[in-house]
Amino acid sequence: MIRIKKPRKIPQILKDKGGKEKLAMCDAYENEGKRDFDFNSKIYGDKTVKEALILAQHDKCFLCESKITHIDYGDVEHFRPKKAFQQNYKEKLNYPGYYWLAYDWQNLFLACKLCNQRYKKNFFPLANPEVREEVSHLSDLNKENPLFINPAKENPEKYISFRVDNLVGVVPFAIEDNAKGKATIKVAGLDRIKLCGRRFEHSKDLIALYKVASMNYPQPESDQAKAILQKRIADHIQDSAEYAGMFRAMVKSDFQLV
């Protein structure tokens, strides 16, 4: 999970059709007492919206950082759940959700189906859940303190790092046991076994190259190995790289990941 720089230009369909839908829902909430809303996925899931998200996120899931569109279409996911929400796994669904943000550009991200549909779902834990009595467009969201990391507003690398588990693979952990890191890892399933194994498979070659470059070879072989290593590191830590967050943690720890 890394920081995502969302374009300032909002897809037009969100402003036009999405804006009308939002006004209609807000009116229904205030004047009809409506609490359970239906949503038009053809708006927030429009081709222009998805293409803008794919570009901004470099074709990666905003949660697990796996590349998506070579194997799947991907989901347009809502950071704050639109229809209903849950504070934890034991809690029933609470209605309404953050309905007025269903077509809000800042609330939309591209996610893989596994992160979205199996793990995150409607979970949106707060550090201070008592402030969330009934969610509505009249609520002051500034009073909320989400435990779920918003990568468009926060740098996930401040909260989550990685370590090698020889049995599982490369496992994420919350830096200094912070609450945001712990909640995000749990809710998004970032420590699921197959994902940890996939990270490890991606990391092996770079770790091996680091070990070779660290050996006391005579020059110019030593210089050549170090130059290759630096080039590979630069490729793996750029925003577009798969699992860039893991590779940045790897470099920061001098390839120890401990």
**What are the sequence ranges of the domains in the chain?**
12-143, 156-252
Q: Give residue 258's pLDDT.
A: 53
Q: Helix crossing, 244-252 with 221-237: angle to 10°?
A: 140
The overall average pLDDT reported for the chain is 92
Cβ atoms of 120 and 150 closer than 8 Å: no
Percent of the chain whose pLDDT exceeds 90: 76
CA 154 to chain centre: 11
Which pTM does this prediction carry?
0.90
Task: Pick 35 or 225 by higher pLDDT.
Answer: 35
| Cβ atoms within 10 Å of 88's Cβ, excluding its own | 11
Q: Give residue 255's pLDDT.
A: 80
CA 257 to chain centre: 21
Per-residue pLDDT of 233-251, as tens digits, reads 899 999 999 999 999 999 9
Per-residue pLDDT of 99-143, as tens digits, reads 999 999 999 999 999 999 999 999 999 999 999 888 999 999 999
Backbone angles phi, psi at 160, to 5 degrees: -125, 135
Peptide bond into 146 cis (omega under 30): no
pLDDT exceeds 90 at position 192: yes
